[in-house]
Structure 1
Amino acid sequence: MMAMLSWLLLIFIGVGGGIAVGSGMVAFLVVLDVIPRLAQTTKSYRQIRWYEGAVVLGSLFFTLTDFFDWSYGLFPMSTALFGVFAGCFVGMLAAALTEVINVLPILAKRIGMESYMIWLLMAMVFGKVIGSLIDWLGVLE
């Protein structure tokens, strides 16, 4: 009975975390118009469906890689190639960082939580801190 409750709690926390991260990703992509801006910058509007598909498939692939602990024996320079693409992603993320500040107030307004904004921020901060500590200290291992 206790093991089942433990599993249910883990499932609840996992689904809640997935919803939070997924919502943040959707807010990042939709509110900031990252994909249309990428198409505008590169003058490649015709390939916008390819960009969207790449984001979805990349998210799915790396989620499965993380869940199933897959490892890949690729050529040594593949790390550098992956680093270049990861750097491009981080660069685009940093470029959009000034606009990300507007995502949370818009989300809070749409779901009717404007008066609870400080609590929403604190919940996110403490959730990240506690989750990181649990991961780093190996509490669930």
Structure 2
Amino acid sequence: MTLNILHIIAEIAIGFGSGLMVGTGFVAFITVLGIIPRLVQLSKSNHWLKNYQASVIIGAMIGTYLTFTDMVLHIPVIFLGIWGLLHGIFVGMLAAALTEVLNVFPLLMKRLGIDKELLWLLMAIVIGKIVGSLFQWLIFVDII
């Protein structure tokens, strides 16, 4: 009995410590990329800064809860579409911030010698992402 309790306490400590490490890494990643300050700067909405921060925190907490529980949400398809759109916006902003911080596109374009074709590259990436996402959701995911 005592060994079982010690085993459970060890699992809780390891799980909590791992969660702190992953959470800290996620926050550091978001902070280094500067997504929220850049979003505030571009949208000129300094008065909404607290709401941006709260939405990221609440979203991470709800996402963590839904990931680790067997809870099933029975919501209409239109809300799933909105939810997916918000996820896509977040992932797109994350990818854009990462490429902006690392200056990936200018370096890639200069190395390939196609500096003038940046618009075509960006459109190809956007259209490829859209087509790939639609293919995955329409072919591999059964939502109804």
Please confirm whether the aligned pair reaches a TM-score higher than 0.5, indicating the same fold: yes
**Partner deviation per Cα, 1:52-91 (whole Å, 9 max, x = no partner):** 1111121222233334432221111222211111111111
Give aligned pairs, total.
101
Unaligned runs of 5+ in 1: 102-141
Identity %: 41
The aligned residue for residue 81 of structure 2 is 80
| Post-superposition CA distance 1:96-137 (Å, at most 9, x none) | 334778xxxxxxxxxxxxxxxxxxxxxxxxxxxxxxxxxxxx
Match of 2:31? 30
1:96 counterpart SS class: helix
Counterpart contact for 1:32–1:100, Cα < 8 Å: yes
CA distance in 1, matches of 2:12, 2:100: 33
Could you tell me which residue of structure 2 aligns to residue 118 of structure 1?
none
* SS at 1:60 equivalent: helix
TM-score (norm 1): 0.61
How far apart in 1 are the matches of 2:3 and 2:84? 44
Q: Choose 1 or 2 for highest CA Rg.
A: 2
Displaced runs of 4+ in structure 1, greater than 6 A? none
Alignment partners' CA distance in 2, 1:92 and 1:78: 21
Give the gaps of 5 or more residues in structure 2: 103-144
Q: Secondary structure at the match of 2:77?
A: coil
Greater displacement, 81-90 / 57-66: 57-66
Separation in structure 2 between the aligned mates of residue 13 and residue 99 of structure 1, nearest angstrom: 35
